[in-house]
């Protein structure tokens, strides 16, 4: 069971050598990092790109007429091209940089929610959303009288498609805002079908792709969705930069969110006019170094390729489900058919925080808690779960270490 | 596996006394007759505790609690209930301050002093200082107790 499978030529040892942090030990034990869904580790290529920019080529962007500013603007704007190519966007102007996925969803809730949606319309989310795709819509509901609907999740942890369609049928839903992959259950939602149904009933669709884009090729034209958000730090890039992709014609309809420098065309005290998209939504000095780092991360992922990433992840997930099934008293939360490399579980009567701490004593990092998804915890009758999540550098041996570690925790509490 | 595994690496934080009190708390029930009660809530992790106090003159006569949370928070509540029966309000508050320092730093601030004996009893919890996010687990029941002593209804940890 410890045999390293090698799907489509992914050389995990070589990949690991590119992540400096993985040589760290925790309490004298090798770091087993199984918390990539919270934030992924950074490859040397990303670290070097950011350091190199600071050491050799840095100034503010979009306004200086000097060499440094021009070069920095080129490197930063190259991230926009890379992000557009990554998602197969039609137009680089459809890539709006934000602070993270939460920032992107809040931008949408403010600008599209208050500028385009009308009171009496509804926003439809699913029962497996992260708080970041719940709370902005609650604020919108309270502010503008826009209804919030929730499509339920089945016992297996999949979207209840019949209930989803029923919630669309009265035609009041203006926007479906839904996860493309659950950060708790690992469920990958049927994005194409979600879009087809939403469009049939006149609703636009936003996907929260924070998890999905790490594991799957995202093609916004093939999905035919209207907005797609994700964050850099889960995709092996730096913190502090995320992406809102939107169809250009929709972005153009939307009013600005933040006002300030960089987002204007002209300013007088009587009236200001806005810059064209995407800059209309990018007030102030952007996350320049983070953009340069994210460009390196996207290049890194593209060089490996999503076919290899997805095959590696599928192999890890299959192995994890098989190994965790051998741990007595362990219950996996979420049994979706189509799932990614995120596995949540509870272990007998042991509290998830105790499980996580006792795994940490063994050098194994997992997340424990409600994972910013309290309503989903209630749905499955638990207060918290422990969660193991996998990245490009995760090995089968690390999953074996997790299973062995959990058996020890279980015996320790017995 | 457990036959040969003595769990040394796990036991330094989860000492036997914590496992024991976490699994089988002695004071883990509400008091039928009480003078004051308060709840503690840690919204970050979902831990909840309610503490009931019955006075005996000026001192704390009995303390009972109901807790939903990890082994450390339940054990801490139980050790607290055991330790504070007898002293008065002021001594209990001083003990809480000393215990909080111990949970945060791992150092016993008043060992050898007036609080030597009760702090000794709470010392198995001092290992949580390695996990700043879990210090709250150990101190939450104390926040609820102090709220009960002060006559406020609810407390949150930190």
What are the pLDDT digits (tens) for A181-237? 999 999 999 999 999 999 999 999 999 999 999 999 999 999 999 999 999 999 999
Extract the tokens encoding A152: 């339920």
Topology match between the domains A7-30+305-413 and A48-303: no
pLDDT band at B12, cuts 50/70/90?
A: confident
Give the pairing type, strands A95-98 and A242-246: antiparallel
pLDDT band at A9, cuts 50/70/90?
A: low
pTM across the whole model:
0.92
Work out the mean pLDDT of chain A and round it to a whole number: 95
CB proximity list for A251: less than 8 A, separation 6 or greater: A93, A94, A96, A277, A278, A280, A281
Between chains, do A408 and B137 touch, taking CB under 8 Å as contact?
A: no
Q: What is the pLDDT of residues A380-395, one digit of tens each?
A: 989 889 999 999 999 9
Does residue B2 surpass a pLDDT of 80? Answer: no
Minimal Cβ distance to A361: which of B5, B9, B71? B9
SS3 A146: coil
Minimal Cβ distance to A408: which of B1, B23, B46? B1
Between chains, do A354 and B7 touch, taking CB under 8 Å as contact?
A: no
3-state helix, strand, coil in chain B (%, to 5): 50, 20, 30
Give the separation between CA B10 and CA A358, rounded to whole angstroms: 6
Predicted pLDDT at A414? 81
- For the ranges A61-70, A201-210, A280-289, A348-357, the lowest mean pLDDT is seen at A61-70
Q: What is the pLDDT of residues A43-76, one digit of tens each?
A: 999 999 999 999 999 999 987 789 999 999 999 9
Predicted pLDDT at A364? 96
CA angle A82, A88, A94 (to 5 degrees): 75
DSSP state of B1: -
Mean pLDDT computed over B33-51 = 89
SS3 A64: coil
Q: What is the pLDDT of residues A125-164, one digit of tens each?
A: 999 999 999 999 999 999 999 999 999 999 999 999 999 9
ipTM of the complex model: 0.88
Chain A residues closer than 8 Å to B1 by CB: 407-408, 411
Q: What is the pLDDT of residues A52-61, one digit of tens each?
A: 999 999 999 9
pLDDT > 90 fraction of chain A, expressed in percent and rounded: 88
Chain B residues closer than 8 Å to A383 by CB: 46, 68
Mark which residues 9-68 of A lie under 8 Å from B by CB.
27
pLDDT > 90 fraction of chain B, expressed in percent and rounded: 63
Best B5, B6, B8, B9 residue to mutate vs chain A (most A CBs within 10 Å): B9
Minimal Cβ distance to A411: which of B1, B19, B23? B1
More confident residue, A26 or A225: A225
Predicted pLDDT at A4? 46
Does residue B38 surpass a pLDDT of 80? Answer: yes
Any B CB within 8 A of A383 CB: yes
3-state per-residue secondary structure call for A185-231? CCEECCHHHHHHHHHHCCCEEEEECCCHHHHCCCCHHHHCCCEEEEE
Chain B residues closer than 8 Å to A28 by CB: none
Any B CB within 8 A of A409 CB: yes
Q: Prior bond to A278 cis, omega within 30?
A: yes
Chain B residues closer than 8 Å to A413 by CB: 19, 23, 71
Chain A residues closer than 8 Å to B9 by CB: 27, 361-362
Domains and their CATH numbers in chain B: 8-156 (3.90.1010.10)
pLDDT band at A344, cuts 50/70/90?
A: very high
Predicted pLDDT at B155? 75
Between chains, do A357 and B1 touch, taking CB under 8 Å as contact?
A: no
Does residue A281 surpass a pLDDT of 90? Answer: yes
Predicted pLDDT at B11? 86
Q: CB of B109 within 8 A of CB of B102?
A: yes
Give the separation between CA A209 and CA A247, rounded to whole angstroms: 16
Instruction: Tell me the angle at which helices B71-83 and A352-360 cross, rounded to the nearest 10 degrees.
Output: 100
How many Å lie between the alpha carbon of A407 and the closest alpha carbon of chain B?
8
Predicted pLDDT at A1? 38
Mean pLDDT computed over A345-350 = 93
Mean pLDDT computed over A360-378 = 91
Q: What is the pLDDT of residues A239-264, one digit of tens each?
A: 999 999 999 999 999 999 998 888 88
- Contacting A with CB below 8 Å, chain B residues are 1-2, 5, 7, 9-10, 12-14, 19, 23, 44-46, 68-72, 131, 134, 137
Best B46, B74, B76, B157 residue to mutate vs chain A (most A CBs within 10 Å): B46
A198-220 burial: b if 16+ Cβ within 10 Å, else e = bbebebbbbbbbbbbbbbbebeb
Minimal Cβ distance to B14: which of A27, A358, A407? A358
Extract the tokens encoding B96: 């809480």
Give the separation between CA B17 and CA A409, rounded to whole angstroms: 17
Between chains, do B7 and A408 touch, taking CB under 8 Å as contact?
A: yes
Extract the tokens encoding B80: 């607290």
More confident residue, B76 or A10: B76
Q: What is the pLDDT of residues B91-150, one digit of tens each?
A: 999 999 999 999 999 988 877 787 888 999 999 999 999 888 889 999 999 999 999 999
The residues of A assigned a catalytic role are 372
Nearest residue in B to A411, CA atom:
B2
CA angle B94, B96, B101 (to 5 degrees): 100
Q: CB of A124 within 8 A of CB of A173?
A: yes
DSSP state of A328: T
More confident residue, A276 or B12: A276
Chain A residues closer than 8 Å to B70 by CB: 351-354
Predicted pLDDT at B131? 87
Does residue B1 surpass a pLDDT of 50? Answer: no
CATH of A48-303, one of 3.40.50.300, 3.40.640.10, 3.50.50.60, 3.40.50.10470: 3.40.640.10
Q: So where are chain A's domains?
A: 7-30+305-413, 48-303
Between chains, do B13 and A357 touch, taking CB under 8 Å as contact?
A: yes
Predicted pLDDT at B10? 87
Predicted pLDDT at B58? 87
More confident residue, A371 or A118: A118
More confident residue, B12 or B142: B142
Extract the tokens encoding A160: 């209840």
Minimal Cβ distance to B45: which of A353, A361, A362? A353
Any B CB within 8 A of A131 CB: no
3-state helix, strand, coil in chain A (%, to 5): 45, 20, 35
Chain B residues closer than 8 Å to A414 by CB: 2
pLDDT > 70 fraction of chain A, expressed in percent and rounded: 98
Q: Which single residue is written with the structure tokens 């809730």?
A: A109
Predicted pLDDT at B158? 53
pLDDT band at A297, cuts 50/70/90?
A: very high
Nearest residue in B to A367, CA atom:
B45
Q: What is the pLDDT of residues A102-133, one digit of tens each?
A: 999 999 999 999 999 999 999 999 999 999 99
Extract the tokens encoding B108: 């016993």
Mean pLDDT computed over B28-36 = 95
CATH code reported for the domain at A7-30+305-413: 3.90.1150.10
Minimal Cβ distance to B71: which of A351, A369, A383? A351
Q: Which single residue is written with the structure tokens 């909080």?
A: B100
A311-344 burial: b if 16+ Cβ within 10 Å, else e = bbbebbbebbeebbeebeebebbbebeebbbbbb
Q: CB of A201 within 8 A of CB of A168?
A: yes
Chain A residues closer than 8 Å to B13 by CB: 357, 361
Predicted pLDDT at B87? 85
Q: CB of A381 within 8 A of CB of A370?
A: no
Q: Which single residue is written with the structure tokens 């000393």?
A: B98
Minimal Cβ distance to B10: which of A353, A358, A384? A358
Burial class (CB in 10 A: 0-12, 13-18, 19+), A346: buried
Between chains, do A412 and B7 touch, taking CB under 8 Å as contact?
A: yes
Give the separation between CA A348 and CA A412, rounded to whole angstroms: 12
pLDDT band at A8, cuts 50/70/90?
A: low
């Amino acid at each position: 069971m410890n045999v390293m499978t090698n799907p489509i030529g992914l050389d995990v040892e070589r990949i690991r050598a590119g992540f400096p942090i993985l040589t760290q030990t925790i309490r004298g034990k090798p770091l087993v990092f199984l918390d990539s869904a919270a934030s992924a580790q950074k490859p040397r290529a990303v670290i070097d790109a950011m350091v190199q920019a600071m050491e050799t080529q840095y100034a503010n962007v979009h306004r200086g007429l000097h060499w440094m500013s021009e070069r920095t603007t080129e490197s930063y704007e190259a991230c926009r091209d890379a992000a557009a190519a990554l998602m197969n966007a039609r137009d680089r102007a459809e890539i709006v940089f934000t602070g993270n996925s939460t920032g992107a969803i809040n931008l949408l809730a403010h600008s599209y929610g208050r500028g385009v949606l009308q009171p009496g319309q509804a926003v439809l989310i699913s029962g497996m959303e992260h708080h970041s795709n719940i709370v902005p819509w609650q604020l919108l509901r309270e502010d503008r009288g826009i209804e919030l609907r929730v499509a339920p999740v089945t016992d297996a942890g999949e979207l209840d498609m019949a209930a989803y369609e029923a919630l669309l049928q009265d035609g009041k839903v203006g926007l479906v805002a839904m996860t493309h992959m659950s950060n708790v259950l690992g469920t990958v939602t049927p994005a194409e079908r979600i879009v087809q149904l939403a469009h049939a009933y006149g609703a636009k669709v936003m996907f929260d792709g924070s998890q999905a884009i790490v594991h799957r090729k995202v093609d916004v034209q093939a999905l035919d969705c209207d907005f797609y958000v994700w964050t850099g730090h889960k995709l092996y890039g730096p913190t502090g930069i995320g992406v809102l992709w939107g169809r250009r014609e929709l972005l153009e309809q939307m009013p600005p969110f933040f006002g300030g420098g960089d987002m204007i065309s002209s300013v007088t005290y009587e009236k200001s006019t806005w810059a064209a998209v995407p800059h209309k939504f990018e007030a102030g000095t952007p996350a320049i170094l983070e953009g340069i780092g994210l460009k390196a991360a996207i290049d890194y992922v593209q060089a490996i390729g999503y076919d290899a990433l997805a095959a590696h992840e599928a192999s890890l997930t299959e192995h994890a489900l098989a190994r965790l099934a051998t741990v007595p008293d362990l219950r996996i939360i979420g049994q979706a058919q189509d799932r990614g490399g995120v596995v949540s579980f509870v272990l007998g009567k042991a509290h998830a925080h105790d499980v996580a701490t006792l795994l940490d004593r063994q050098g194994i990092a997992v997340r424990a808690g409600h994972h910013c998804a309290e309503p989903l915890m209630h749905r499955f009758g638990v207060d918290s779960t422990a969660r193991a999540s996998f990245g490009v550098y995760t090995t089968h041996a690390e999953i074996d270490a997790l299973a062995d570690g959990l058996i020890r925790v279980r015996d320790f509490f017995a | 596996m457990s036959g040969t595994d003595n769990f040394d690496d796990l036991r330094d934080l989860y000492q036997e006394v914590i496992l024991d009190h976490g699994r089988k708390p002695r004071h883990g029930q509400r008091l039928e007759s009480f003078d004051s009660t308060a709840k503690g809530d840690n919204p970050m992790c979902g831990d909840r505790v309610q503490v009931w106090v019955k006075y005996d003159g000026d001192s704390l006569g009995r303390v009972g609690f109901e807790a939903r949370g990890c082994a450390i928070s339940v054990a801490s509540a139980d050790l607290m209930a055991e330790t504070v029966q007898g002293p008065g309000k002021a001594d209990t508050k001083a003990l809480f301050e000393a215990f909080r320092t111990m949970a945060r730093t791992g150092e016993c601030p008043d060992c050898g002093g007036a609080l030597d004996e009760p702090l000794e009893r709470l010392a198995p919890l001092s290992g949580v200082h390695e996990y700043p996010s879990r210090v709250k687990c150990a101190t939450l029941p104390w926040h609820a107790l102090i709220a009960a002593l002060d006559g406020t209804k609810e407390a949150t940890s930190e």
